[in-house]
Structure 1
Amino acid sequence: MTKASGKGVGAAPATVKPSIAHNHWMAPVLTAAVLVGTAAAGALWISQRSATSPLSAPGIVLGDGQHGPSGMAWVPGGEFLMGSDSKMAQANEKPAHQVRIHGFWMDQHHVTNAEFRRFVEATGYVTTAEKAPDWETLRVQLPPGTPRPPDSAMVAGGMVFVGTSRPVPLQDYSRWWRYVHGADWRHPGGPGTSIEGKDNHPVVQVSYEDAQAYAKWAGKRLPTEAEWEFAARGGLEQATYAWGETFAPDGKQMANVWQGQPFPVISPKAGGALGTSPVGTFPANGYGLYDMTGNAWQWVADWYRADQFRREAALGKRIDDPAGPVASWDPSEPGVPVTAPKRVTRGGSFLCNEDYCLSYRPSARRGTDPYTSMSHLGFRLVMDADQWERQRSRS
Structure 2
Amino acid sequence: MEAPVKSCCVPASGRAAGPAPSLLAAGGVDDARVVDIPGGSVTLGTDTPFFREDGEGPARRAALRPFRIDAHAVSNRRYAAFVAATGYRTEAERYGWSYVFHSFLAAGTEAPSPEGTPWWRQVHGAYWAVPEGPGSTIADRLDHPATHIGWNDAAAFAAWAGGRLPSEAEWEHAAKGGDDSARFPWGAAEPDDGNALCNIWQGRFPVRNSLADGFLGTAPVDAYRPNGFGLFNTCGNVWEWCADPFRVRSLSAAAKQRNQAATAERERVMKGGSYLCHRSYCYRYRIAARSGRSPDTSAGHTGFRVAYDAGASQAM
Would you say 1:210 and 2:153 are equivalent positions? yes
Structure 2 residue aligned with 1:244, among 182, 187, 198?
Answer: 187
Equivalent position of 2:305 in the other structure: 380
Q: Distance in 2 between matches of 1:368 and 1:302?
A: 11
**CA separation of 1:386/1:177 partners in 2, compared to 1, >3 Å: closer, same or farther?**
same
Question: C-alpha distance in 2, partners of 1:86/1:240?
Answer: 10
Q: Give the direction of change, closer, same or farther, for the CA distance of 1:85–1:24 in structure 2 (3 Å limit).
A: farther
Greater displacement, 70-79 / 353-362? 70-79
Query: Any conservation in 1 of the 2:37–2:174 contact (CA below 8 Å)?
Result: yes
Residue 237 of structure 1: how far off its partner (Å): 2.1
Task: Quote the residue 2:137 is aligned against.
Answer: 194
Deviations 1:226-254 (A, max 9, x none): 101111111112322111111249x6421
Shift of 1:355: 0.3
* CA distance in structure 2 between the aligned counterparts of 1:330 and 1:224, rounded to whole angstroms: 22
Residue in 1 that maps onto 2:268 = 343
Q: Which residue of 2 aligns with 1:96?
A: 59
Alignment-derived partner of residue 12 in structure 2: 27
Partner residue of 1:277 out of 201, 211, 219: 219
2:257 counterpart residue number: 331
Q: How does 1:286-305 map to 2 (within 5 A)?
A: 286-305=228-247
Question: Structure 2, unaligned stretches of length 5 or more?
Answer: 1-5, 17-30, 105-113
1:24 and 1:198, CA in 2 relative to 1: closer, same or farther beyond 3 A? closer
1:330 and 1:222 map into 2 onto residues whose CA distance is 26
TM-score, normalised on structure 2?
Answer: 0.81
CA distance in 2, matches of 1:25, 1:107: 23
1:51-200 map, 5 Å: 71-86=33-48, 88-91=50-53, 92-132=55-95, 156-162=96-102, 173-200=116-143
Query: SS of 2:257's equivalent?
Result: coil
Q: Structure 1's 253 and 25: CA in aligned 2 closer, same or farther, altered over 3 A? A: closer
Q: CA deviation at 1:163?
A: 5.1
Task: Provide the residue aligned with 1:352 in structure 2.
Answer: 277
Structure 1 letter corresponding to 2:47: D
What secondary structure sits across from 1:230 in the alignment? helix
SS of the counterpart of 1:236?
A: coil
Distance of 2:256 and 2:135 partners within structure 1:
36
| CA shift for structure 1 position 333 | 10
- Kindly state the Cα deviation for residue 362 of structure 1 after the two structures are TM-superposed: 0.6
Larger radius of gyration: 1
**Quick check: 1:28–1:369 contact (8 Å CA) kept in 2?**
yes
TM-score using structure 1 length: 0.65
**Alpha-carbon distance in 2 for matches of 1:248, 1:354:** 9
**Structure-1 separation of matches of 2:86 and 2:271:** 28
What is the aligned-residue RMSD (CA, Å)? 2.9
Aligned pair in 2 of structure 1 residues 223, 27: CA closer, same or farther (>3 Å)?
A: same
Cα drift, residue 338 of structure 1: 6.0
After TM superposition, give the deviation of residue 113 of structure 1 in Å.
0.2
Q: Give the direction of change, closer, same or farther, for the CA distance of 1:333–1:112 in structure 2 (3 Å limit).
A: same
Aligned pairs, number: 282
Contact preservation (8 Å) 1:343, 1:370: yes
3-state DSSP class of the match of 2:61?
A: strand
**Distance apart, 1:381 and its partner CA:** 0.4
Say if 2:183 is the partner of 1:219: no
